Structure 1
Amino acid sequence: MQKFAVFTGSCQSLPVVQYLLQTNQLACVVLVDGQPNPDLMQLQQWLKQQNITTLPYSKNGDDALLSQLDRLAVNCGVVYLFRHKIRKPLMQYFNGELMNIHPSPLPEYRGPQPLYWQLRNGETLTKLTMHQVTQELDCGDIACDVEIDIHPFDTIQCLYQKTSQALLHLISQYCELKQNNQLALCKQTTEYTKLAPALQPSDLVVNWSTCNTSDIVNMAKAGNLDRFCAQLIFRQSTFQLLQASKVECVLKGITPGTIIELGLKSGLIVKTHDGAVKLDILGATQGCFDGYRFALLFGLEPGLVFDNDVAVNSR
């Protein structure tokens, strides 16, 4: 009999928890060790209402957790949105039956921010991949995966929702393969070109001298209304770029980052080194504005140039 422990810290893992609960395969949920946030608190409340056993993960060691897992007869595990690296004693306890869910077509986009970088790089297809947990992150053998289309208008929140919806298909596929003794693990290839590293402040700033039009449009989608929102620098103040659109432009000899057009109908259009981009929606402490209203509020006009420097503080 398969008895799963789900390692998580987010409500986005609920499709996995609910499936295992409904199929009588859930033993417990292991929660992250850290300060509560709204997402984690909502998850804890739901688990309590469902009378699901929860176990705390300790940053200091695995002995207590291993004892509790053994008492509950846990023999399988699933890790999703769990911000701790699993230590060797836990891996040994599960003996190859501990799986991680990673939202990318592994081995591409290994790292902590796979969805962000896939949007930023303009990918049109991703996968939700279940693989064995190993000491080297995101490198374990692949058990199964589910394809997810990325629409040209998808933001990071859209992609979060799509991956959440695909979780049920993934976990049910995995469990059925195991139950029917049809699960065949596949080693990851050693050839890959794209990673998903942790984001640095400089990664979020639109650098007009290096970013082309597609880069800027994708940066806005990847960080839209998220903590990794794209940023514009103007007069040493930082503003959020929430949406941008490509504009055909044949003008030459104009410094990238220069405002080349501003109008009620045309909006706020800025030159890039390969064309131009319309700044559709921008954010500031005063609120969110379309490009035209934003320009009027903050005194922008044609001929002015956005900065490339990274501001220390956000406005």
Structure 2
Amino acid sequence: MKILILSNHIAALPTINALFEKKWLECVVTSGNQLIKNEIHDFCDLKGIACYEVITQTSFSEQVHDLIISTKADLVLVFGFSKKIPNSLLDLPPLGFFNVHFSLLPAYRGPAPLFWQIKNGETFTGITIHKISSSLDSGPILHQQQVQLRAEESFGALNHRLSLIAVSIIAEAFDMLNNNDYMLTDQNEHLSFTLPSVNQQDLIIDWENQTAAEIMNLVNACNPVYNGAIAFLNGQEVSIVEVSPAIINDVSGEEPGTIVFADGNYGLFVACKYDSFLRINVVRNNESILSGHKLVALGVKTGARFSNNIQDQILNN
């Protein structure tokens, strides 16, 4: 089998390596960006894999068309690729185009499935291999596997774990294709929903309305890809990168976002809705990454309050 991969996401690297070692991989196409280090291209250079960078949609369409023809690719695998596949290309390889999606489709269609699944507190996710159609993430499913979401798992940790699990899922799927022993299953549109790209507002902690568990989910969903969940403290925007649940006795009725305990040995603890509490483990600002202990050493005290926006900070101060 001859395979062409479209990817600009590091989650694809284990699969690229596995297909290369199996001698099924013809080449890789990635999106070029001179401002960002391209780890896909660097990895391919190291392994001796043919890799092509495209920048514009027009050059992409032409180049992929020509590569499918010249390599006689049986199929194209899309794994974290930022450009839309033109409908004119979809039927060019004999087996078509297939996409790797990190959810159990038809749930969590869209460009940021891991963020929304972690933020929403799902207890499981999955990997879906589906044929690409003209509608986003809607094509028939070739192979799918459910994966348990671990407690307090961050976006980065989950993405890495799924990237490793995906190797065997994709291998199984492509073995079925290679042996002509497969069935494509249409997605159930009654169970489908699509969530949008993540914007700045989605990253802001709502101290008044989110529970401690919901805030922890948001923080984990933002780590590290969005640099943390956004809050404001002492007139400055900070990103909270890591928190953990905490139990504090003899404290109740504190306004959510209030720091109820700040100690150089034990760290920084903040009140949340329903008299629940979180320990602030890691934050970052424009200058540095700081532990909760370091924040205490820098003068953050009990009674200070995290808020949703800079206006609240001005009013509180």
TM-score bucket of the superposed structures, by smaller chain: 0.7 to 0.9
SS at match of 1:94: coil
Moved more, 191-200 or 110-119: 191-200
Larger displacement relative to structure 2 (175-184 or 102-111): 175-184
1:12-51 map, 5 Å: 12-35=11-34, 37-38=36-37, 40=38, 42-51=39-48
Aligned to 2:152: 153
The yes-or-no answer on 1:287 pairing with 2:284 is no
Query: 1:131 is aligned with what amino acid?
Result: H
**Structure-2 residue corresponding to 1:243:** 242
CA deviation profile, 1:114-161 (whole Å, cap 9, x unmatched): 112222222222111101111211111110023323221322221121
Specify the alignment match of 1:255 in structure 2. 255
Number of equivalenced pairs: 307
Partner of 1:309: 309
Aligned to 2:213: 214
Q: Distance in 2 between matches of 1:245 and 1:188?
A: 37
Find out whether 1:105 has 2:104 as its counterpart.
yes
Q: Please state how far the C-alpha of 1:102 moved relative to its aligned partner.
A: 0.5
Q: Which residue does the alignment assign to 1:132?
A: 131
Alignment correspondent of 1:268: 268
Asked whether the 8 Å contact 2:104–2:145 carries over to 1, the reply is: no
2:57 paired residue number: 59
Cα distance in structure 1, aligned partners of 2:97 and 2:310: 42
Cα offset, 1:285, TM superposition: 4.0
CA distance in 1, matches of 2:194, 2:266: 37
Distance 2:35 2:294 in 1: 38
TM-score by length of 1: 0.87
The one-character-per-residue Cα deviations of 1:28-54 (angstroms, maximum 9, x if unpaired) are 21222443522x2x3223323444333
Gapped runs of 5+ residues in structure 2?
A: 312-317
Once the two structures are TM-superposed, the CA of residue 173 in structure 1 deviates from its matched residue by 0.3
- Note the C-alpha offset of 1:200: 1.1
Conservation of the 8 A alpha-carbon contact between 1:9 and 1:43 = yes
SS in 2 for 1:277: strand
Q: Secondary structure at the match of 1:101?
A: strand
Distance 1:31 1:286, change over 3 A: closer
Deviates more, 1:105-114 or 1:20-29: 20-29
Separation of aligned partners in 2, 1:44 and 1:293: 38
Alignment CA distance shift 1:79-1:303 (3 Å): same
Does structure 1 retain, via aligned residues, the 8 Å contact 2:108–2:117? Answer: yes
Equivalents in 1 of 2:57, 2:112: separation in Å?
22
